Amino acid sequence: MLNRDAVAADLKSYVERYGGAYAHASNVIHEVWLRVAHDEQVAARVAAGSWPFLVPRWTAGCLGDRVVTKPWTEPYTLFAVDGSQIFPERHQGIPCALINIGTTFFEYGEHSRVIFSSTPTLIAADSEMGFLSETVISAQRTAWELAKGVELGKQYPGIPFFFDGSLIFWHLNESSESENAHFLKEYLAYGEALFQQKTPSVGFISFPKSKELVNVLRIFAELSEEVTRFLTDQDLVADFLKPGERTILFESQARIVSVYPAHLRPFFFYLHTGHEIARVEVPAWVAQDELLVSRLVGLLLDQCEKGRGYPVCLAESHEQAVVRAADRDFFFACMGICLRQQDTPYVMSRKSFLKRTASF
């Protein structure tokens, strides 16, 4: 049983320390920002150096420039994709997993309509994928999300494709070298397909924790780890972006991006949605089209208005994809019924059994 008094006391002490450190870090960062935000030489200095931390590159505008966009008011159409999964349970049942891909299609105009769907796929131990780790299942979920984007892009030519997540496949850092190579090749193939069919893809990251812009400031000032560890880019840009404004476009310099084809390399910007600072990522071929970027930002702002701060297309895709506790219970109950019908034992560890039935 949780000792709530002890937890409350520890939290109070930590929050007091954190609050003081955060305020100090904010003041220090703000002073550096005022010096460099509108210095036209900053981009060249950043690009010319080799830095031990991740910084972006940009060629147009100053670090602190703001771009104003209004929510889109004309009729429009878009689709979104999200995914969820049930990992193999080592304490019960037989080795298998489930990936569920949810999709939404929205058409706004004189004849508005919406289409919801979800596609569950069982991953069995005797399939080509075999018995897989959680890391690989998560990577496969991303692949199937992108595959669904390509499929819908063919069905709805030129319609924007939104998804919750990054175009920089950070999660592959947790995979083995062979798995990394396999999934990266697959992801880039889907990215190329989206490019060929001219389906603009947009990755939306709510409450981002990236520090690339904070790292830029480290180049121009001796900022201690104590200062930079408390602040993210979100904290930085929240001080100067107003609702409906975004930063300029930055090109990611993450190591994994070096193997992307030039037209697929991720660009990003930060957007004040009216409720929070979000990070938005697009491939280079989209970033190079100013009118397209402006339109996509306008769509995002309208979607965030409709979704009370979060794009409604992504919220509904999540609802289609999410595997809730009741769904998980159904999955294992259904597994048990099928096993009993085949006179095959349903094995459950004592740990799992006692979690469900333990009493004094």
Q: Do 191 and 283 touch, CB atoms closer than 8 A?
A: yes
Residue 96 lies in a domain: yes
Mean pLDDT by 10 residues, the chain (360 residues): 96 94 91 95 96 96 96 97 92 86 97 97 77 86 98 97 96 83 96 99 97 96 83 95 97 96 99 97 98 98 96 98 95 90 76 53
- Whether 258 is in a domain gets the answer yes
pLDDT value of residue 90: 73
List b or e across 320-351, with b for residues whose CB sees 16 or more CB atoms inside 10 angstroms.
bbebeeeeeeebbeebbeeeeeeeeeeebeee
Q: Does any domain span residue 17?
A: no
Domain extent for 143: 69-207+241-325
- Classified as helix, coil or strand, 163 is strand
Q: Which two tokens stand for residue 4?
A: 């709530």
What is the domain-level CATH number for residue 309? 3.30.2170
Please check whether residue 134 lies inside any domain of the structure. Answer: yes
Q: Which two tokens stand for residue 34?
A: 């005022």
Is 40 a domain residue? no
User: Within a domain: residue 187?
Assistant: yes
Number of domains forming the structure of the chain: 1
Q: Is residue 166 part of a domain?
A: yes
What is the full DSSP assignment across 221-247? S---HHHHTT--HHHHHHTT--TTEE-
Give 274: exposed, middle or buried? Use CB within 10 Å, 0-12, 13-18, 19+: middle
pLDDT number for residue 355 = 57
Q: Can you give the pLDDT at residue 30?
A: 92
For residue 275, tell me if it sits in a domain: yes
pLDDT at 352: 55
Beta strands in 109-232 (DSSP E): 113-124, 161-164, 201-206
